[in-house]
Structure 1
Amino acid sequence: MKAETQQHRVLDRIFVVSLILKGIDGVLELIGGVLLLVIPADKIGTFAQLITQHELAEDPDDLIANAIRHAAGGLSASATLFGAIYLLLHGIVKVVLVWAVLRNQLWAYPWMIGFLLVFIGFQCYQLVVGFSWGLVALTVFDAFVAWLTWREYGFHRAARRSSPAPAMD
């Protein structure tokens, strides 16, 4: 019994840390979305060249630096707008759901699970299109957070069912 309680506490802490990481990610997505709205696409390309030039001077085949340059070089105004809208919507939803789940708002748990499942599906599609270990790690993390959210949701629902209704004055 004691081992179950200790495991429960550890999983609860992991759940909270995971939610906080998701929340931080949501805030970073909001910042990125705003930056994409206010910085023109050509300036992003110039900035990408500036931050990668030293690394590429040392190693012209650097995978990350070349990927940054390639991605920034192919940005159009419409792609930048799409990216900004995507990041802003994704970030807002993530921040709101994380905040609500951390405040034990029961309605937010199924929404968080659904949101995660949709993105897990999208990430699996992306893995079929082009494999990436980073995307595999993100997908596994999202699946783990979805499972932890489902688990916590079950505990909170059971606790609400077993507690007496508040007295009406």
Structure 2
Amino acid sequence: MAHVAHRAFKIGIVIKGLDGLLELVGGSALLLTGRPAIHHAVALLTRQELIEDPHDVVANYLQHMAQQLSLSTRHFAGIYLLAHGLVKIVMVVGLLRGLRWSYPMAVVLMTTFMGYQGYRQLHQPSLLLGLLTVIDVIVTCLIVREWRHLPAKTPPIE
């Protein structure tokens, strides 16, 4: 069982790292890309789906969001994604390297992210956000479990 939990921890952390990398890319794209380019990209991504099903919920939602995207929203989302992605990557690197400070930091950060996600869920319920929050709870529990099973710190030799 311990081996399975450790493997799940590693997989969860790698997924968080990839998520952080995607957030860095997405945040950079939002900050560096103009509104017409965003509209064009969303149109390319949703065109085939809307041809097949003009009432596709996801494709229509993406189209609507692209049309409503203001400059201030784009800047906020871009900065948020950059910061969130950078924090995740630092956390993941520390956890994968087994650095002691990264475990409590990761628990605090993950709990903070989950608190914000819970707040968002109360004001704008979303099945996807709910699922991501459940995954974050599982990953946080795995981080705590790994933290508890770290080998004892050896005292310095005098």
Question: Aligned pair 1:123/2:117, yes or no?
Answer: yes
Aligned to 1:74: 68
Shift of 1:131: 2.3
Deviation beyond 6 Å, 4+ runs, structure 1:
none
Structure 1: distance between partners of 2:155 and 2:98? 17
Shift of 1:58: 2.2
Map of 1:46-125 to 2, 5 A cutoff? 46-125=40-119
Shift of 1:42: 2.5
- AA aligned to 1:149 is I
Instruction: In structure 2, list runs of 5 or more residues that go unmatched.
Output: none
- Give the alignment's TM-score, normalised by structure 2: 0.93
Shift of 1:68: 0.7
Structure 2: distance between partners of 1:41 and 1:110? 40
Instruction: In structure 1, list runs of 5 or more residues that go unmatched.
Output: 1-6
Name which one, 1 or 2, has greater alpha-carbon Rg.
1
Question: Aligned pair 1:167/2:152, yes or no?
Answer: no
Structure 2: distance between partners of 1:83 and 1:126? 14
Aligned to 2:10: 16
Query: What percentage of aligned pairs have identical amino acids?
Result: 39
Structure 2: distance between partners of 1:136 and 1:97? 22
The secondary structure found in structure 1 opposite 2:149 is helix
Structure 1: distance between partners of 2:155 and 2:115? 39
Task: Give aligned pairs, total.
Answer: 158
RMSD: 1.3
Higher mean displacement: 145-154 or 19-28: 145-154
Shift of 1:53: 2.4
Higher relative contact order (CA 8 A, sep 6+): 2
- Give the alignment's TM-score, normalised by structure 1: 0.88
